[in-house]
Amino acid sequence: MNIDTRQINLKQEASRAAMNFITPYILENNNFLIGVGTGSTVDFFIDELSCFSCSIAGAVASSDRTKSKLSSCGIKVIELNSIDHLPFYVDGADEIDESFCMIKGGGGALTREKIVSSVADKFICIVDESKLVNRLGSFPLPIEVIPMAVNSISRRLTLLGGKVVLRDGFITDNGNVIIDVHNLYIQDQLSLEKEINNFPGVVTNGLFAINRADILILAADEGVQLIHRY
C-alpha cells in the first residue's frame, strides 16, 4: 500500500470512530446539532454523518467548502447565529501535541473553525498518526490577515524568528489572506497564540491552545485510539 492510500485509510478510520462515538448522542436527542470542521479528514466524516441526515437537526459549517459538502450529503446547514451552543465540534488538524494543542489552517479555514469550535462543549480532533507531534511548529503556522496589514505583521513575525510566506493566490472565505510562518520555535503555545492575536490586522492565528481539543481520535496502523484530555 502506498503512503497516500494508507493515510487515506487512516483518515477514514478516524472518521468512522468519531461517528461511532457520536451515534448514541444522536439516537437519544431528536434535536441533535453538530459543528463540522474543514479538510479531507472531515470530508470522510461528513460521508459517515450523511447516514444520519434524517436523524440530525443540522450542522454548523466552518467553511464554504464544508457547507457545500454537507448540503450535497443532504445535511441541513444551520447558521451559527441561530444557535447557542453545540454538544460536539469535529475537525482535523495539521499537528496536535500531547497536551492536545493544535496547529490548524492548512486548508485556510482557521477563523471559522475557531469560531464554531468555541461554542462546542467538546472538540473532537480526528487525525491519522502523522499529525501527532512532540512539539508544534514543523507545520508552518497559518495566520489569517487583513490584506493591508501583511507587511506590518510580517515584520513582527520575523522578529519572533519566523520565516514568512504569503500563501500564493489564496483568499479566505472572509476575504482575507493567509501568511504561513515557517521555523517558529513554539515553546508556550498559549502565550504565542495570544501574542500573535494581538498584532493589529491579525484576524486569527492557527494555534488552537486556548480552545484545544477535548478528545483525540488517533488512527494508526495498530488501530484507532480515542483519548480524552486529562
Which candidate in 13, 48, 95, 113 is catalytic? 113
The alpha carbon dihedral of 129, 100, 142, 66 has a sign of: positive
Q: Can you name the residues that pair with 95 across neighbouring β-strands? A: 103
Q: How far is the CB of 47 from ligand 5RP (least distance, A)?
A: 13
Query: What residues have CB less than 8 Å from 59, skipping those under 6 apart?
Result: 33, 34, 35, 36, 49, 70, 75, 76, 77, 78
Sheet order of strands, 163-166 included: 163-166, 177-182, 141-145, 202-205
C-beta closer to ligand 5RP: residue 149 or 213: 213
Q: Is 194 annotated as a binding residue?
A: no
Q: How far is the CB of 175 from ligand 5RP (least distance, A)?
A: 16
| Angle at the Cα of 54 from the Cα atoms of 53 and 59, rounded to 5 degrees | 45
Q: How far is the CB of 23 from ligand 5RP (least distance, A)?
A: 21
Q: Please, where are the H alpha helices in the chain?
A: 3-27, 40-49, 64-72, 110-118, 150-159, 189-197
The yes-or-no answer on residue 113 being catalytic is yes
C-beta closer to ligand 5RP: residue 29 or 40: 40
Cα separation values, 74 from 20, 26, 50, 138, Å: 20, 16, 7, 37
Number of neighbours of residue 54 by Cβ within 10 angstroms? 7
Q: Is 38 annotated as a binding residue?
A: yes
Q: How far is the CB of 61 from ligand 5RP (least distance, A)?
A: 12
Q: Is 99 annotated as a binding residue?
A: no
Q: How far is the CB of 40 from ligand 5RP (least distance, A)?
A: 3
C-beta closer to ligand 5RP: residue 32 or 123: 123
- For ligand 5RP, the binding residues (CB under 6 A) are 37-41, 91-94, 104-110, 113
Q: Is 93 annotated as a binding residue?
A: yes
Q: Is 107 annotated as a binding residue?
A: yes
- Structure-block grid coordinates of residue 41: 479528514
C-beta closer to ligand 5RP: residue 106 or 140: 106
C-beta closer to ligand 5RP: residue 131 or 156: 131
Q: Is 35 annotated as a binding residue?
A: no
User: Which residues have a catalytic role annotated?
Assistant: 113
Annotated binding site: 38-41, 91-94, 104-107, 131
Binding residues for substrate, as ranges, are: 38-41, 91-94, 104-107, 131
